[in-house]
Chain A
Amino acid sequence: MIKDAETLRNKYLRDAMFPTIFCDGCGIGNVLQYTLWAIDNLGLDMDRTVFVSGIGCSSRLPGYIKADGLHTTHGRALAFATGVKVANPDLTVIVFTGDGDCAGIGGNHFIHAIRRNIDITVIAVNNFTYGMTGGQVAPTTPIGSITTTTPYGSAEPPFDMSEMAKVIGAPYVARWPVTYPYQPIKSIEAGVQKRGFAFVELFAPCPTAYGRRNKLRNIEQAWQWYRDHVILLDDYERIQRFGSAEEKRSLVGKLKIGVFQDVEKRSFTDALEEQIASLRVDKPEPERQAA
């Protein structure tokens, strides 16, 4: 059951935080809305859900949500989130991060949080740039893009966060542009329900810092860019296997979207709790209480 924005806002957001810091046309708002829809659909207990983030425009999201929130240091959201989850495995932990936060400065934490398979859900807002600092090149910036620090076009190949998450073995990985309204919600729901590391990457436009320099300032242009540049995983694979030479050429520069991985795997938190239960010298507490 999907509710209107007004109802969601009243139910989940902090009034005192409005107006938001987000620019007109920024995709971060869509990410928030999809997250709230997913939360509402799941009926998550907001007293027992903690939102953790690093630094960046996207990392400001926890501040808007009426729940426990930890807005940490740049790149370190997953380290802090690991502390929260390991210390109290009964809490649901959702991390908001940006592409710079997650794949740039936080890349090492990203790799290791996945390797451990800690039971948290990461919602990564990929706007192809460092938005908050005004639009510098990021590890995800498409090659050739103009940014404030690649005035002649970026010569660096970008990093594919979802591919990476899949290869390291995250049990749930999905990627969608915010132009798809339904799939991101379903993926966030699936991610939160997954016992283990779930990674949901959402392409979201940054008209101010990125779009402006790459002919994507207008929100219509930005949304059209996604439509032109994404391809469903199934289609991609089909063309790879059976497509004509021309079809294969059309894949160049396309960004795969869809559910990259959905498997069951024992979470680190479960394994650790089991080990502790077998080692502790006293009897385990019958039921951990909300303090």
Chain B
Amino acid sequence: MDTNLVRQVLGQKVQFIHGDMACVYGALLAGCNFFAGYPITPATEVAEGMSELLPKLGGRYIQMEDEIASMGAIIGASWTGAKAMTSTSGPGFSLMQENIGYAVMSEAPCVIVNVQRSGPSTGQPTLPAQGDMMQARWGTHGDHEIIMLYPYSVQEALEMTITAFNLAEKYRTPVLLFIDAELGHMQEKVVIPEDDEFEVCYRQTVTVSKEEYQAFRPGNNAHPDRLVPEFAPFGSGYRTYVTGLTHNEAGLPRTNSPEIHDRMIRRLCEKILANRADMTFFKESYADDCDIALVAYGITARACEDAVAEARERGIKVGMLRLITIWPFPEDLIQQWARKVRLMVVPEMNLGQMIHPIREAVAGQCRVVPLNKIGGEVHTPGEILEGMVRAIEREREREPAAA
């Protein structure tokens, strides 16, 4: 899609829009030309924005009968070569899980936006929560890796949606883009980037002849070491057979061979894990001058920024690590931080989800303290500061002998 045309349709370079719309803008700039979805608060505005803007750019929008169908439709579209996206929130995200696994298995690039709301079940439909962090990782059955990005501002939502598409295309895998309900409906300034300010990636198209073509053979003649296969869209004459069954490199079902299954699943995981450097995004502050760390993500990190400023004024040496890439989990980064601080405080809008991989990475090198809040309200900076101070005090009480 011609980005100048996209900019023309989006309008002024600087605008006030909400987080949901920022995902729409990002998707269009990334070349998204297919959207299928189903209405759900607080993600409906993504679908509404797409339904308005996509046709103007020659793209196709369809409202499906449910989220299972939406997920199926974007995979079908992806196999014709489209850059496809859907959006949803908790209940719909649950429904999408089986087909997300199909996208992993069939290596269909696509982007799923989840505007997180409170659950389980219908929960608090309009209110924010961060309860889907583990569902994102393990929601679909079977061994797999997943990429998930979690921007914290409207501008970042726009930029990270572009990145989500790029990663989906490069690694031929579904990419999850999470924002908080709070951000979805929050209006902020965005600056629409110029072409030289962002990259647009496309899946590697087929370079071999039809005779030589093996739909799921990783790499190509020039780059045999690549872990991602080349792509021939439906209708191109390459006649690809795609199945969610374990398949050989030709794409044909081979369900009884332990070796083929093992090799295939390990490759699907490895194509992501071996490229962590390309997909790990984060922001740090006072990283080299702190003995306490706040580790946060999404909207919670905004409250943390204020808490850090206030704490530093009070002489507390706190630094902050904001995770933008949630999965694959940036273990090395957490380990680096664990080596330099004595206390890690992890505020989350759930009863403790990301604290688990954090603790696993920290492996006892420092104390890790959760700061959980549920009920539909974002932590205030005061609550974070207070929680942090309490954790520091408890820490002192625990370690008088060591001091």
Contact = CB atoms under 8 A, between A and B. Distances in A.
Contacts of B70: 79
Contact of A84 (B79, B99, B236, B244): B79
Given A83-B84, A91-B80, A50 B243 contact: no
B5 A72 contact: no
B185 to A, nearest CB: 27
B56 A279 contact: yes
A45 B189 CA distance: 51
A221 B8 CA distance: 68
A73 B84 contact: no
Interface string A219-260: 000000000000000000000000000000000000000000
Interface stretch (B60-68, B367-375, B385-393, B394-402): B60-68
Nearest to B101: A73
B72 A50 contact: no
Interface residues of chain B: helix, strand, loop or mixed (majority): mixed
A178 B55 CA distance: 43
A71 B106 CA distance: 10
Given A71-B243, A290-B235, A16 B250 contact: yes
A291 interface: yes
B244 A72 contact: yes
Contacts of B5: 281-282
Nearest to B74: A83
A80 B70 CA distance: 9
B64 to A, nearest CB: 7
A98 to B, nearest CB: 16
A83 B73 contact: yes
B77 A291 contact: no
A276 B55 contact: yes
A68 B102 CA distance: 17
Given A79-B73, A80-B72, A108-B65, A48 B235 contact: yes
A86 B240 contact: no
Contact of B34 (A16, A17, A86, A284): A86
Name the residue in B80, B205, B238 with the highest tally of chain A Cβ atoms < 10 Å from its Cβ.
B80
Interface in B28-51: 33-34, 36
Contacts of A62: 241
Interface residues of B, number: 54
Interface in B2-21: 2, 5, 8-9
Contacts, number: 165
A281 B4 CA distance: 11
A10 B252 CA distance: 18
B235 A73 contact: no
A82 B79 contact: no
A81 interface: yes
Nearest to B73: A83
A83 B76 contact: yes
A160 B38 CA distance: 28
Given A71-B243, A87-B80, A280 B58 contact: yes
Given A16-B250, A71-B245, A72-B244, A83 B234 contact: no
A88 interface: yes
A11 interface: no
Contacts of B243: 63, 69, 71
B72 A71 contact: no
Contacts of B66: 108
B111 interface: no
Contacts of A66: 239
Contacts of B2: 282
Interface in A45-69: 46-48, 50, 52, 62-63, 66-69
Contacts of B242: 68-71
A275 interface: yes
Given A71-B245, A87-B84, A280 B36 contact: no
Nearest to A81: B76
A9 interface: no
B58 A282 contact: yes
A272 interface: yes
Interface in B110-151: none
Interface in A259-291: 272, 275-276, 279-282, 284-285, 290-291
10 contacts: A16-B250, A62-B241, A63-B241, A68-B235, A76-B99, A80-B73, A80-B75, A84-B80, A108-B66, A281-B9
Given A79-B68, A272-B60, 14 more contacts: A52-B76, A66-B239, A68-B238, A68-B239, A73-B98, A79-B71, A82-B72, A82-B76, A90-B235, A109-B69, A279-B55, A281-B9, A284-B58, A291-B81
Among all A-B residue pairs, the 4 with the closest Cβ atoms: A83-B76, A79-B72, A83-B73, A87-B77
